């Protein structure tokens, strides 16, 4: 009898411990930072089939298009509320000469895209086409200028061409090419990866270049440029320190970039996008969670030199980088996208939200047909990837107030390693609705999570949604029904200000509360 009682107590205790271990205290009354919608930005380079075939098919194509841009791709990206698009690279940016991409298309010079497959770039998609794309997407353009192989004159003339309404040679040229009004481009990258493909510079050399280029990229009219300095590669804290110390932050530049890609194994053998086991899944999660440490350490350096928080951290390249799909051009970086990618997206977005005080923009690489894409295209078909659905779900956080949250989570362990099983963001929108997104990284166990909305007496559950799949490597493909999408989720119990929710294994869930 005694043993039975003991056993029952043990079961109750273990059950309670499991529940209480997974708890999110949401401080509903302490929010002060806005989660910039630009955290949900994207990046598209002249690389593989991202621009050509991805967006651009030309006016004469049989694929339905508006001014040469695919209607299906533009329509899908509008579903996720794409807030900005970074272009033209990437490594391509520091080889790109913008004047080759304006004027009559059939007269534009060609070039070799040396980084990406050595293909001939015909420059049919240039400044006007990119800004037409942003216009159709209703998003902010983010243009990355050529510091590596260009000149200051070339970069300053590009800014003048885009933004000036004075009587000037570049304004006249723009008007002659059919654009009467200046576009008023705000976000301006000053080179890309200048520690590598953008010129193999030292931090000290680049800091000086940034000051010079910063001086000659001018503001026109009311428009104020938000210049993004080429920042560090992953954990290169020396680069960050040098730029923040010597690059004239806040005056020469308003943002500094950070690039970090998640790679399951290593650069020589990254691993398949679709064929992987649990240890590779686990490793991907471990690698991606390194973003937390990166943000924390880079922000600490930024705080030292910029205590007034004037300079934004701009993570303008991130995401999963797998081996290319078998049989595709290795220089085109075409990869499939599974539930694992979706969870990598949600975990990183939670981290960017967490550091919203400093992180003002991020751009996942690279939107269509390249790396961790939102959309894949094949002729006249498109596929919405699992990552697409996470971005669609997270629209609720765009420009919402971050609600600081304390997350207690059990571990997801494999062998003798472990990572936190849960990741989450809570925010409050302009209508007072609270949205909580919670990811359960554990592929083999659903988790009961108690959300405590501190500062409120009572909440109502309004609706929920979920992105999940049968397997960690489930994916959507052409000519078959979607395996992963966004569906309704209701496994929620509310008592007063406490919400008890059961998060299925390997899933991300969104709760709307009021």
Chain positions contacting ligand AHR, by CB under 6 A = 45, 89-91, 192-193, 317, 365-366, 371
The closest of 175, 154, 153, 299 to 240, measured between CA atoms, is 299
- Shortest reach from residue 40's CB to ligand AHR, in Å: 18
b/e code 298-321 from CB counts within 10 Å (16+ = b) = bbebbeebbeeeebbbbbbbbbbb
> Is the distance from CB of 120 to CB of 95 less than 8 angstroms?
no
In terms of C-beta distances under 8 Å and separation of at least 24 residues, what long-range contacts does 171-177 make, across chains too? 173/102, 177/102, 177/103, 177/128
Cβ nearer to ligand AHR, comparing 45 with 129: 45
Shortest distance (Å) from residue 241 CB to ligand AHR: 21
Indicate the residue among 268 and 431 with the shorter CB distance to ligand AHR. Answer: 268
Element (H, E) at 378: strand 375-378
Q: Which CB atom, from 372 or from 474, has the smaller least distance to ligand AHR?
A: 372
- Is the separation of the CB atoms in 397 and 469 below 8 Å? no
Give the integer Cα–Cα distance in Å for 365 and 374. 9
Contact (CB, 8 A) for 146 and 96: yes
Whether cis (ω within 30° of 0) applies to the bond prior to 133 is no
Catalytic residues: 193, 317
Q: Which is nearer to ligand AHR, 192 or 468 (CB)?
A: 192
CB of 276 to ligand AHR, least distance (A): 21
Contact status, residue 331 vs residue 118, Cβ threshold 8 Å: yes
DSSP 98-154: GGGGSS-GGGPPPEEETTTTTEEE---S-HHHHHHHHHHHT-EEEEEE--SSS-HHH
CB of 144 to ligand AHR, least distance (A): 9
Q: How far is the CB of 458 from ligand AHR (least distance, A)?
A: 47
- Contact call for residues 254 and 310 (beta carbons, < 8 A): yes
Angle (CA) 414 294 231, round 5°: 140
Please say which residue, 53 or 231, places its beta carbon nearer to ligand AHR. Answer: 231
The dihedral sign for the CA sequence 407, 441, 233, 314: negative
> Is 512 strand, coil or helix?
strand
Which residue lies nearer to ligand AHR by CB, 220 or 332?
332
Least distance to ligand AHR from the beta carbon of 322, Å?
A: 13
C-beta of 16: minimal distance to ligand AHR in Å?
47
Shorter beta-carbon distance to ligand AHR: residue 288 or 366: 366
Based on CB atoms, which residue is closest to ligand AHR, 31 or 191?
191
Question: With respect to ligand AHR, which residue has the nearer C-beta, 35 or 228?
Answer: 228
As a residue count, the chain comes to 514
- What is the spatial distance between Cα 296 and Cα 342, in angstroms, rounded to a whole number? 23
Instruction: Output the smallest distance, CB 356 to ligand AHR, in A.
Output: 24
Name residue 382's beta-bridge partners: 377
CB of residue 128 vs ligand AHR: minimum separation in angstroms? 23
Strands 312-320 and 226-229: unpaired
Residue nearest to ligand AHR (CB): 90
CB atoms within 10 A of CB 135: 13
Strands 41-43, 411-414: pairing kind: unpaired
89/386 with CB nearer ligand AHR: 89
Q: How far is the CB of 117 from ligand AHR (least distance, A)?
A: 12
CA distance 268 to 63: 37
Contact residues for 411 (Cβ-Cβ < 8 A; gap 6+): 418, 419, 420, 421
Write out 388-438 in H/E/C secondary structure. HHHHHHHHHHCCCEECCEEEECCEEEECCEEEECEEEEEEECCCCCEEEEE
């Amino acid at each position: 009898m005694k043993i039975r009682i003991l056993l029952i107590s043990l079961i109750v205790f273990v059950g309670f411990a499991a529940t209480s271990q997974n708890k999110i205290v949401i401080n509903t009354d302490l929010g002060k930072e806005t989660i910039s919608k630009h955290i949900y930005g994207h990046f598209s380079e002249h690389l593989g089939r991202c621009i050509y075939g991805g967006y651009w098919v030309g006016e004469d194509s049989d694929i339905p298009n508006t001014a040469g841009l695919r209607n299906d791709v533009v329509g899908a990206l509008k579903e996720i509320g794409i807030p900005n698009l970074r272009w033209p690279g990437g490594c391509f940016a520091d080889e790109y000469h913008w004047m080759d991409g304006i004027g009559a298309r059939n007269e534009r010079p060609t070039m070799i895209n040396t980084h990406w497959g050595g293909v001939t770039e015909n420059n049919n998609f240039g400044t006007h086409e990119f800004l037409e794309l942003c216009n159709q997407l209703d998003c902010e353009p983010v243009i990355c200028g050529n510091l590596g192989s260009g000149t200051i004159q070339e970069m300053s003339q590009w800014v003048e061409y885009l933004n000036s309404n004075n009587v000037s040679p570049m304004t006249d040229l723009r008007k002659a090419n059919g654009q009467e009004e200046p576009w008023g481009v705000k976000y301006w990258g000053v080179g890309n990866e200048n520690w590598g493909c953008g010129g193999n510079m030292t931090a000290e050399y680049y800091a000086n270049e940034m000051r010079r280029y910063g001086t000659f990229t001018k503001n026109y009219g009311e428009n104020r440029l938000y210049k993004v300095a080429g920042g560090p590669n992953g954990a290169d804290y020396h680069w960050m320190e040098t730029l923040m110390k010597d690059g004239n932050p806040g005056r020469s530049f308003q943002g500094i970039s950070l690039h970090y890609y998640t790679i399951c194994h290593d650069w020589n053998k990254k691993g398949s996008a679709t064929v992987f086991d649990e240890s590779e899944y686990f490793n991907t999660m471990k690698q991606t969670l390194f973003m937390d440490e990166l943000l924390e350490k880079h922000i600490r350096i930024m705080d030292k030199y910029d205590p007034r928080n004037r300079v934004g951290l701009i993570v303008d390249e991130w995401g999963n980088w797998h081996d290319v799909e078998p049989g595709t051009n290795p220089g085109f970086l075409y990869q499939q996208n599974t539930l694992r990618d979706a969870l990598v997206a949600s975990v990183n977005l939670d981290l960017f939200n967490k550091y919203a005080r400093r992180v003002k923009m991020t751009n996942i690489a690279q939107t269509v047909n390249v790396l961790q894409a939102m959309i894949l295209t094949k002729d006249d078909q498109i596929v919405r990837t699992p990552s697409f659905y996470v971005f669609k779900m997270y629209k609720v956080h765009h420009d919402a107030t971050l609600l600081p949250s304390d997350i207690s989570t059990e571990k997801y362990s494999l062998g003798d390693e472990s990572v936190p099983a849960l990741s989450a963001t809570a925010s409050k929108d302009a209508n007072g609705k609270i949205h909580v997104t919670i990811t359960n990284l554990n592929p083999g166990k659903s988790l009961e999570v108690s959300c405590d909305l501190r500062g409120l007496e009572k909440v109502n559950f309004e609706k929920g949604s979920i992105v999940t799949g049968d397997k960690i490597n489930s994916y959507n493909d052409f000519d078959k029904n979607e395996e992963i999408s966004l569906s309704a989720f209701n496994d929620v119990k509310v008592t007063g200000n406490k919400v008890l929710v059961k998060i299925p294994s390997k899933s991300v869930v969104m709760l709307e509360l009021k």
